[in-house]
Amino acid sequence: MLNNKAVLITGGTGSFGKMFTKMILAEYPEVRRIVIYSRDELKQSEIKQNYPQDKFPQLRFFIGDVRDQERLIMACEGIDVIIHAAAIKQVDTAEYNPTECIRTNVDGAENVIQAALKCNVKNIVALSTDKACAPINLYGATKLTSDKLFTAANNIKGSKDIRFSVVRYGNVMGSRGSVIPFFMNKRKEGVLPITHKEMTRFNISLEEGVRLVFFAIQRALGGEIFIPKIPSYKILDVANAIAPNCEINDVGIRPGEKLHEEMITETDSLNTIEFDDYYAILPSVSFAHTKEDFIKHHNAKEVPFGFKYNSGTNTDWDTIDSLRDKIRKHVDADFSYE
């Protein structure tokens, strides 16, 4: 799928970009080129140390911002596949710096689309978030806008052989700023701050997130928002899995935070199909494909009327024991809760 292809990853120095690079090199050793595009010079330097040029000649490092369309176009020359992972992701950061969030998450998305069209890139997959579903904070609203831009881009491609799709998933285990490393650090103080004892979230590993992107690259017709079938967890179970002897301090829900996350609303379900390990929300406007085209292509079926996919009403749950196993596998092999 990616052998003999050139791939560009925006935000390529983040948690996802590093895992994506690692898995491409392991599973597609004949990949022609991997371009790590980000504005963080220090992180690029750190990654270079792990992938020396003499052993990994296919890696390229571009300093650049998705806000800069000219630089993106330069980086996209000769690229076959773009993975758009760059974003301002912290909810409180976005609330305090709304214009900066819009410039990166919305204007940046449009710049990626225009660069892809101008450079005849074949396949573009954008990373979304569960917070883009029925958003109540600016971060979610900008990512919903980004999702709409990417799915609608299929209608302006003209005769170009190009596909834009989106992947949407929940909290990533062990990623920067996520709750598991936060709790693992806080347990040294003997107290874990919990925003609400009833809170739930979807749970996915970085590797599973990369697999979803691989699936989208291979299978997208164009315009789908792919969503994985993954378990939920209760925040108290995460706390008990990591530090069962710590005191719990209920600090209250932060501004812009939900009690439960959604990935498919009841209204979205009218345009949602189900297959294998994934759902796909189909584009509300598509000139290239009908709903029947998508169903046939994915060997899928429509979800039941009134269906919704919510972390609080999910039928698949991580337990304290399964969370501990996953932490050892995906976050820290030496993890102990004693």
Residue-wise pLDDT tens digits, 58-73: 999 999 999 999 999 9
Residue 14 lies in a domain: yes
- The number of distinct structural domains making up the chain is 1
pLDDT confidence of 147, banded at 50, 70, 90?
A: very high
Residue 336 lies in a domain: no
| 7, 79 contact by CB (below 8 A) | yes
Residue 42 lies in a domain: yes
pLDDT at position 256: 77
Compute how many other C-beta atoms are within 10 angstroms of the C-beta atom of residue 8: 29
Q: Structure tokens of 184?
A: 């693992």
**pLDDT of 338 above 90:** no
pLDDT confidence of 207, banded at 50, 70, 90?
A: very high
pLDDT at position 176: 74
Predicted TM-score (pTM) of this structure? 0.94
pLDDT confidence of 255, banded at 50, 70, 90?
A: confident
Residue 279 lies in a domain: yes
Active site residues: 131
Compute how many other C-beta atoms are within 10 angstroms of the C-beta atom of residue 176: 10
What is the Cα–Cα distance from 194 to 252, expressed in whole angstroms? 7
Compute how many other C-beta atoms are within 10 angstroms of the C-beta atom of residue 332: 13
SS3 call for 136: coil
% of the chain residues with pLDDT over 90: 89
Give the domain extent around 287. 6-170+204-229+262-309
Residue 198 lies in a domain: no
Residue 250 lies in a domain: no
CATH number at residue 81: 3.40.50.720
What is the Cα–Cα distance from 336 to 134, expressed in whole angstroms? 37
| Burial (Cβ within 10 Å: 0-12, 13-18, ≥19) of residue 30 | exposed
Write the pLDDT tens digit of every residue in 17-56.
999 999 999 999 999 999 999 999 999 999 999 999 999 9
Sheet holding 200-204: strands in order across?
A: 171-172, 200-204, 232-234
Residue 235 lies in a domain: no
SS3 call for 239: helix
220: Cβ–Cβ under 8 A, 6 or more apart, which residues?
Answer: 123, 125, 163, 165, 226
Residue 93 lies in a domain: yes
